Amino acid sequence: MAPMAPPGPREVLERFRRAAIDRSVEDMRRVYAPDAVHEFPFTLPGVPARLEGREEILRWVAAGWRTGTVTYERYRTLAVHDTADPDTIVVEQEAIGTSTATGGFALPNIAVLTARDGHIVHLRDYVDLIAAAAATGRDL
């Protein structure tokens, strides 16, 4: 019997989304590779542009969950695009949720996700800064 192939980027994306909705640090730990990189090409003051390594990513994510005003309830997939690299996908999506500051929100973003051996190794997270500020009640 042939060994099972590790989950591809689409399956890893779904595990990432579930961990974010559940606010599960342990599930998120299982999603990222130890040497993963999570980048925010567009960022606001006080938000890092690059997080290196699973532990740094998890510290940042967990801190946001503890102090943040937003809760993701689901994701709406607008499109998923394959690339020349079978380990990389481009995702057009919206995070749908609620904010203690403003109520319901839809946060559009584009993510370029690379997964190897069933883990995120690189994620470029192009968040709509205007929508993110509006969801958290912040002015730009």
Report if pTM > 0.85.
Answer: yes
Residue 94 amino acid letter: E
pLDDT by residue for the chain (140 residues), tens digit each?
Answer: 667 888 999 999 999 999 999 999 999 999 999 999 999 999 988 889 999 999 999 999 999 899 878 999 999 999 999 999 999 999 999 999 999 988 999 999 999 999 999 999 999 999 998 998 888 888 77
C-beta pairs of 73-82 under 8 Å, 24+ apart in sequence: 73/21, 73/97, 73/98, 74/21, 75/17, 75/21, 76/106, 80/10, 80/13
Q: Sketch out the chain's domains with CATH numbers.
A: 9-136 (3.10.450.50)
